[in-house]
């Protein structure tokens, strides 16, 4: 079961083609990942303050299938596809509401790093455990 998070389309999200600017789906995907972590009790700002570590995105791969427009409501999903010690692959989709037509889909690889040095490090066990469930 994927985590689901609603995203509304505002003027800021669109471009002169009359549709959502494709780069913005990466923002929508990240909002959903952030809320997924939050729903598991993981706040990223707190985590950075406490552990000195943070997630950084190391790879993104997205297909844009149908455009979204101003005022559209999307449901954005996030689910764990692959879990390593230092990085995770999250599968994500943006679905138009109502109906669920797939607008964009892709995978995002996030790695854990020390915030000060940006060096890769092991993902804290509690996060990994929470996400695997």
What residues are paired with 109 via a beta bridge?
59, 89
Q: Is 15 a catalytic residue?
A: yes
Does 44 engage in binding with its own copies (CB under 8 A)? yes
Q: How far apart are CB 51 and its own copies at their closest, in Å?
A: 14
Contact flag: residue 34 with its own copies (CB under 8 A): yes
C-alpha radius of gyration, the chain, whole number: 15
- Please give the C-alpha separations between residue 10 and each of 22, 33, 63, 65, 112, in angstroms, as whole numbers: 14, 20, 21, 20, 31
Among 2, 4, 31, 124, binds its own copies (CB under 8 A): 31
- Regarding 51 and contact with its own copies (CB under 8 A), the answer is no
Q: Please list the alpha-helical segments (H only) found in the chain.
A: 24-39, 44-51, 125-132
Q: Which residues bind its own copies (CB under 8 A)?
A: 8, 10-12, 14-19, 21-24, 26-27, 30-31, 34-35, 38, 43-46, 48, 54, 56-64, 67, 69-72, 115, 118
């Amino acid at each position: 079961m994927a985590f689901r998070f609603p995203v509304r389309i505002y003027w800021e999200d669109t471009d002169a083609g009359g549709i959502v600017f494709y780069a913005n789906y990466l923002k929508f995907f990240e909002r959903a990942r952030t809320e997924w972590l939050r729903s598991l009790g993981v706040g990223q700002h707190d985590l950075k303050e406490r552990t000195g570590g943070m997630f950084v995105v190391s790879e993104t791969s997205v297909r844009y299938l149908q455009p979204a427009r101003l005022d559209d409501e999307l449901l954005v999903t996030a689910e764990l596809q692959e879990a390593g010690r230092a990085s995770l692959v999250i599968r994500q989709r943006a679905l138009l509401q109502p109906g669920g037509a797939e607008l964009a889909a892709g995978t995002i690889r996030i790695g854990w790093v020390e915030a000060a040095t940006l060096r890769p490090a092991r993902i804290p066990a509690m996060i990994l455990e929470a996400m695997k469930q």
